[in-house]
Structure 1
Amino acid sequence: MLDLETKVHDESRQGEAYAPAVAGTQTYTKKFYIESYGCAMNFNDSEIVASILGQEGYGPTRNAEEASLILLNTCSIREKAEQTVRKRLTEFKKLKRETPGMLVGVLGCMAERIKGKLLEEEKLVDLVVGPDAYRSLPALIAEAETGQKSVNVLLSREETYGDISPVRLDNNGVTSFVSIMRGCNNMCTFCVVPFTRGRERSRDAYSIVREARELFDNGYREVTLLGQNVDSYYWTSADGSETITFAMLLEKVAQIDPLLRVRFSTSHPKDITDEVLFIMQRYENICNYIHLPVQSGSSRILQLMNRTYTREWYMKKVDRIRELIPDCGLSTDIICGFCTETEEDHQDTLSLMKYAQYDLAYMYFYSERPGTLAERRYDDDIPEEVKKRRLAEVVELHRKYSQAGMEREVGKTFRVLVEGTSKRSTEQLFGRSDQNKVIVFPKENFKKGDYVMVKVESCTSGTLIGKAVQ
């Protein structure tokens, strides 16, 4: 699961909850405005939508008031995200009254679940489009322009959008996501993704490598291979003569050029293999960083979540990663207050955090989502004040180990890919280390896209502060 609720400060844009489209230089007959919520997959989907709309004469704009089409790419992982979307739709409803011909649509994970409410009961939108139906957008827009309510939320077993070149929206021109698969076969009881994004299917490996190569040729210097569970990537050619696993795909992308850094997200603890770790060892341009969601440190709760591993199994996986890649950065997802969670279960989570000492953690308290297995099977029986108290304890402990981890980096030198100007000072640049830690340093004559050796001189809880060295 790629959504986030609480995390330490990060200078980069990764994980933002909102990203408006950037206007390009091409002249278009119509303009669209898009907002994306939730996970990195949603941001990538918005770039696919932008490509499809571009073929229909629509160009992106940052100004909703000048758009003839407003789209919200939605997330159903957290109730908070849905509330935000509803609020924005209410605001756009007022804008629509003042703008004849304007259409408002909802894309993505909220689409199927509450399409009736959005279209008929609340009359907030004109069209609703699920994550596998973006190719039908032109026809749905044409239908909506006649006054009809347009809907397509059908899920697909084949759609990967592998032949569509995404239009990079609100990007820094240095880093980008490349989707390698869609959907998920892991029926975690707390998660709505299998029901909103459908079953797992892997994209053509050669289309992935081609997209990554095109990004590199256009000046990008880092790609993140993206999927709900990248380690289960498994593509077979149409004639059955070739099969490519995730480790093989990772190697193919790394071989594009040594100057192209490669990351990936998200890994499922049950699926990440030694083969992947050996490939990471072999290629210097594959970043030593793994996002390995644990969700809970209690084997009992993990069983209720249908995570298919135990506490002890997860800890052995952490040991193996650190045995093969000693300097590997490690991050995780943690849910507090899942159904029936006791204080003993909560203490198990805290003790596992002490064991793993994550560099970064996405931490949130359990929010029951309609349509999940947990909603059907279990009572959401932990009081909210208990959930929040446990979350606060998890966050406090994580900050302690995160701070200690940052302090251990002081005095070390890292190769940093410059991503842009620091939010705090125009005289400072920022980038990330291999281990995904943000490093800020004086601008000097460096620019975006440069690789710079930076010696860390100090740190805050979320940022390393250094100076470029020869």
Structure 2
Amino acid sequence: MIDLQLADKTHDEGRQGEALVTDAPLKRNGRKLYIESYGCQMNFADSEIVASILFDQGFETTGDYKEADVVFINTCSIRENAEQRVRNRLSQFGAEKRRNPKLIVGVLGCMAERLKSKFLDEEKLVDVVVGPDAYRELPQLLAEVESGHKAINVLLSREETYADISPVRLNGNGITAFISIMRGCDNMCSFCVVPFTRGRERSRDPHSILAEAQGLFDMGYKEVTLLGQNVDSYKWKGADLVTEQTAAVALTEDKREIEVNFAQLLEKVALISPDLRIRFSTSHPKDITDEVLYTIAKYDNICNYIHLPVQSGSSRILDLMNRTYTREWYMNRIDAIRRIIPGCAISSDIIAGFCSETEEEHQETLSMMDYVGYDFAFTFSYSERPGTLAARKLPDDIPEEVKKRRLAEILVKQQNSSLYRLQQFVGKTMRILVEGTSKKSDLDYCGRNDQNAMVVFPATAGIAPGQYVNVYIDRCTSATLLGVVAVEEPANV
């Protein structure tokens, strides 16, 4: 599952856990839409679905909520502090609403589903509340608000995948993009609200996934990330994919039924072009197969990077979390990754201070970190979420000061591990996809290597975002590789 709205991060993971606001307006005549997103990558992908739906209704996007007609905040319920940030942001929108009473303010996403009518009752400035499976209803819901009524739809679906909707790329750099391959989650981890806020698991048909990936590549995109709460459980059964050669007769011939698993989907996307780089998130330790690993190893354009959340190094705690694997199983999967994909980067999610965790079990988590040597990790102390199994059945009995101390120990160990992993790249020349200018200086470019490490290097004439370039790594920090261009021209893929 994707559970990356975290309080502490040891690696820059792009948009995860950060607010996303719309960039330059999509030039259209009509009302203006402002969307701000928090949480996991799935929320950002959903915001692009919402923008597409309202784009068809004549809306254009804006990066300034003060000039918008409709303001949406796409929310996350994974962490308590995420919900507090949303409430604080809503109060700021409220000030604008008092100045402009016609402004429509809406709450989307997981928090909308979880709190439902409370937003309309308690947060008087909220006009519309929409859950993750009801975005198609937004035009009707907005019309209801404009007629003077509050509007809400948080019904979950067993079928909705938005497969037929082409997302509007909101903060798009024209180089990297998300593709949602499935929705919902069937893993009932005791600490997690996702199954309750996003519903049951369902996979999107591969026809539409491949069409979206091909379309992005045709528009000049060089990297796609396949998204799902648990991508390894992707499974679709239906009509055979129609090849270009048989497309002309496909309408008159019966199609053969096939089943597509995640490894097969990965391969199909990789075959679009060797110039299209593929990433995915998130994997589940109980489901990731050797077939997936061999597929990654087979194709150079599938990145050697796997996010494999461990959550805890203790089998007893994993059982309380209902993770359905043991410490030994997880280590077996790590061994398989190291054997089949040498040099593959591995990241993780780690929870400190879960219910009843002993000091010895905390030490098991630290020893797991030593065993794996994570390239980076998302770490946080346990935060009880209302409605989860843990909140109903397990007392949150670890004192906050103990949680903070254990989290600090995890952070220190991960910082050391991240630095060590990056140091292994120093002295090597790496192929980098240039994503844009560095956050710190317009004189530097930045991009990621195959293992998802951020690389910063001086901008050089003849090189532009969207190109691949060879960079010689001459030093690093605990989070970033630093180097210089190794050749005059960008390297061929």
TM over 0.5, yes or no? yes
* Residue 410 (structure 1) aligns with: 426
AA matched with 2:112: A
Q: CA deviation at 1:467?
A: 1.2
- Gaps of at least 5 residues in structure 2 are 240-254, 488-493
Give the secondary structure class of the aligned counterpart of 2:113: coil
Secondary structure at the aligned position of 2:482 is classed as strand
Once the two structures are aligned, what percentage of the paired residues are identical?
62
Deviation per CA, 1:160-218, whole angstroms, max 9, x where unpaired? 00000000011211111100000000000000000000000000101001101111111
The answer to whether structure 1 residue 315 and structure 2 residue 316 are counterparts is no
Q: Is the 8 A contact 2:443 2:459 kept in 1?
A: yes
Cα pair 1:280 1:287 within 8 Å, conserved:
yes
Q: What's the counterpart of residue 197 of structure 2?
A: 196
SS at match of 2:422: helix
Q: Distance in 2 between matches of 1:240 and 1:47?
A: 33
Q: Does 1:248 align with 2:264?
A: yes
> 1:65-80 maps to which residues of 2 (within 5 A)?
65-80=66-81
Q: Could you report, residue by residue, the CA deviation over 1:16-37 in whole angstroms, capped at 9, with x for unpaired residues?
A: 4201112334222100111000
342, 345, 369: which is aligned to 1:329?
345
Of 390, 395, 398, which aligns to 1:382? Answer: 398
The answer to whether structure 1 residue 366 and structure 2 residue 382 are counterparts is: yes
Please tell me whether residue 2 in structure 1 is matched to residue 3 in structure 2.
yes
| 5+ residue gaps, structure 1 | none
In 2, Cα distance between equivalents of 1:240 and 1:156? 28
State the alpha-carbon separation in 2 of the partners of residues 153 and 344 from structure 1: 42
Runs of 4+ in 1 over 4 A off after TM superposition: none
Q: CA deviation at 1:412?
A: 1.1
Deviation at 1:241, TM superposition (A): 1.0
Correspondence for 1:152: 153
Aligned match of 2:249: none
The 1:301–1:9 alpha-carbon spacing in structure 2 relative to 1, beyond 3 Å, is: closer
Spell out the pairing of 1:87-166 with structure 2 (5 A cutoff): 87-166=88-167
1:265 Cα offset (Å): 0.4
Show the counterpart of 1:352: 368
**Mapped partners of 1:290, 1:405: distance in 2:** 15
- Whichever residue aligns with residue 275 of structure 1, its letter is E
Please name the residue that 1:422 is paired with: 438
Q: Is the 8 A contact 2:75 2:111 kept in 1?
A: yes
Q: TM-score normalised to the size of structure 2? A: 0.94
Does the alignment pair 1:448 with 2:465?
yes
For residues 393-444 of structure 1, the C-alpha deviation after alignment (integer angstroms, 9 at most, x for no partner) is 0000001111111111111111100001011221111111100111111111
Distance 2:3 2:302 in 1: 20
Q: Deviations over 1:380-399 (max 9, x none)?
A: 11111111110000000001
Deviation at 1:116, TM superposition (A): 2.3
Q: Is 1:264 paired with 2:265?
A: no
- 8 Å CA contact 1:2–1:40 kept in 2: the answer is no
TM-score (norm 1): 0.98
Residues 117, 123 of structure 1: 8 Å contact kept: no
C-alpha distance in structure 2 between counterparts of 1:151 and 1:28, whole Å? 27
Q: Counterpart amino acid of 2:306?
A: I
Return 282-291 or 436-445, whichever deviates more: 436-445
Contact kept, 8 Å, 2:22 with 2:171, in 1: the verdict is yes
Give the one of 431, 435, 438 matched to 2:447. Answer: 431
Alignment root-mean-square deviation, CA? 1.1
Which secondary structure does the structure 2 equivalent of 1:155 belong to?
coil
Amino acid at match of 2:218: D
Aligned length, in residue pairs: 469
Give the aligned residue type for 1:379.
Answer: P
Alpha-carbon separation, structure 2, partners of 1:108 and 1:170:
19
Give the secondary-structure state (helix, strand or coil) at the position aligned to 1:318: helix
Secondary structure (helix, strand or coil) at the match of 1:112 reads helix
Cα separation, 2, equivalents of 1:212 and 1:316:
33
1:463 aligns with 2:480: yes
Residue by residue over 1:94-136, the C-alpha shift from the partner in whole angstroms, topping out at 9 and shown as x without a partner, is: 2111113111000000112212221013313000000000000
**Distance of aligned partners of 1:79 and 1:240 in 2 relative to their CA distance in 1, 3 Å threshold:** farther
Q: Following TM superposition, by how much is the alpha carbon of 1:9 offset from its aligned partner in structure 2, in angstroms?
A: 4.3
Cα 1:82/1:171, change in 2 over 3 Å:
same
Note if contact 1:439-1:466 (Cα within 8 Å) is conserved in structure 2. Answer: yes
Q: Are 1:401 and 2:417 an aligned pair?
A: yes
| CA–CA distance in structure 1, aligned partners of residues 20 and 281 of structure 2 | 20
Deviates more, 1:59-68 or 1:107-116: 107-116
Which residue identity lines up with residue 170 of structure 1 in the other structure?
N
| 2:111 match: secondary structure | coil
The one-letter code matched in structure 1 to 2:288 is I
- Checking the alignment, whether the CA contact within 8 Å between 2:76 and 2:110 is kept in structure 1 is yes
